[in-house]
Amino acid sequence: QVQLVESGGGLVQAGGSLRLSCAASGRTLSSYTMGWFRQAPGKEREFVAAIYWSGSSTDYANSVKGRFAISRDSARNTVYLQMNKMTAEDTAVYYCAARFGWSAVRSRDVYRYWGQGTQVTVSS
Q: Is the pLDDT of residue 124 over 90?
A: no
* Mean pLDDT over each residue of the chain, to the nearest integer: 96
67-119 pLDDT per residue, tens: 999 999 999 999 999 999 999 999 999 999 999 999 999 999 999 999 999 99
**Interval 19-32 mean pLDDT:** 93
**Interval 46-53 mean pLDDT:** 97
What is the full DSSP assignment across 48-66? EEEEETTT--EEE-TTTTT
Residue 116: what pLDDT? 97
Q: What percentage of residues in the chain have a pLDDT greater than 90? A: 94
> In angstroms, rounded to a whole number, what is the distance separating the alpha carbons of residues 10 and 19?
10
3 state DSSP class of 22: strand
Q: What percentage of residues in the chain have a pLDDT greater than 70? A: 100
Residue 9: what pLDDT? 98
* Positions of E strands within the chain: 3-7, 10-13, 18-25, 32-39, 46-52, 58-60, 68-73, 78-83, 92-100, 113-114, 118-123
